Amino acid sequence: MPRLSAPIYLDYNAGAPLRPGARDAVIEVLKDTGNASSVHANGRRARGRVEAARDGVARLCGTGARSVTFVSGGTEANMTALSRVWQDGGNPVYLDKLFISAVEHPSVMTGGRFAVADQVIVPVDGDGVIRLDALRQSIEGAEPGLVSVMAANNETGVIQPLAEIGAIAQENGHFFHVDAVQAAGRIQIDMEGWQADAITLSAHKFGGPQGIGAIVSRSTSRSPAPLMIGGGQENWRRGGTENVAAIAAFGHAAEDAQSDLDAVRHLQDLKSRLEAGLKSVCQDTVIFGEGADRLANTTCFAVRDLPAETALIALDLERVSVSSGSACSSGKVSVSHVLTAMGVDEALARCAIRVSMGWDTRPEEIDAFLELWPAVVDRLNPKARSRAA
């Protein structure tokens, strides 16, 4: 097996490398002292950094800065959005049901502040796209509730028809939340076009630091009840002293991601090269979600009888970082609920591997991965290549 001269990181959907501007922002803030709620010069300087970052995140989302609330990351942002109580024009609205797709991130699948009995799971088709007919049937005539659907799937990269989902939700008097954690910085966010009442973000998916995210409302008068209650930080929408260093870096990463949005499209060419190369090695390679609109950076594939867990170890020994379609918990590998919802059989689902690229991915890294992959297949399952010959 060929040896690589440098490690290759192809797991951007788990976390992207920190962008240089974001790294510089963290260092600059950590050299300083100041609570963004203090009125002295140090506090005002910290406040200025928070508000500059709020502007940057708002531009990424195409909305006003007042709509952005900083939280600790994507999970807290989703938990905040999944509230049974929303404000609408200053009046509380109590929501009856939560409607989610069968392929949501675990932080949404838990249901947030909705009881299990009040959650409705809407099925998807074989490519992982929500069935609009099933969604409409679920919510028509129902009491006002919350529809929560991810913009793009973290495992397959499949993009949901958000404008159509938003229209169905609004026509039937429901609130609409979009988990945009994997989409931000990879496709244009269009809250108006999606008719989304709120979207959620996590900075580390597009080059910001870990541990910082945001919930962004389309209207400041239409938003979920706070999850974290404390002081008056974040306009009373999220209590707790602001993490100024992380917020400042988040803002820089958001601005860079927005500027790079056109350049990100070059990843589509790399994805096409990758998928063609995978199929040339094993013609029966399965690309999950291949028939749907997908993020330019994500490929989730499998070769039957080539377990992902073993392949990941082999690749890691060669200093290549990719991910599995399965979720690991307490040392146990479980079959992906996303692939199960798509109708993928368990044996094939256990072979799923995810390659995800990003702002610092270079063509030679994809070429190096494709150079390594045949040797991995030959070592772990020689019959796979002969089967496809």
Q: Which residues pair with 179 in a beta bridge?
A: 150, 200
Q: HSE of 90 in the Cβ direction (CA atoms, 13 Å)?
A: 0
371 by DSSP, 3-state: which?
A: helix
Contact 313, 98 (CB under 8 A): no
Helix (H, G, I), strand (E, B) or coil at 90: coil
d(CA 49, CA 54): 9
> Tokens 């788990």 — which residue?
14
- Which residue is catalytic, options 282, 300, 328, 351? 328
Q: Kindly report the backbone phi and psi dihedral angles of residue 87, in degrees, each rounded to the nearest multiple of 5, phi listed first.
A: -95, 135
- Where do we find the tokens 């929303």? 86
Q: Is 300 a catalytic residue?
A: no
Structure tokens at 94: 């109590």
According to DSSP, residue 338 is labeled: H
Say if strands 352-356 and 298-302 run parallel, antiparallel, or are unpaired: antiparallel
Alpha-carbon distance of 287 to 289, in angstroms, equals 6
Report the first-to-last Cα separation within the chain, whole angstroms. 21
C-beta separation of 175 from 128 below 8 A: no
* Catalytic residue list: 328
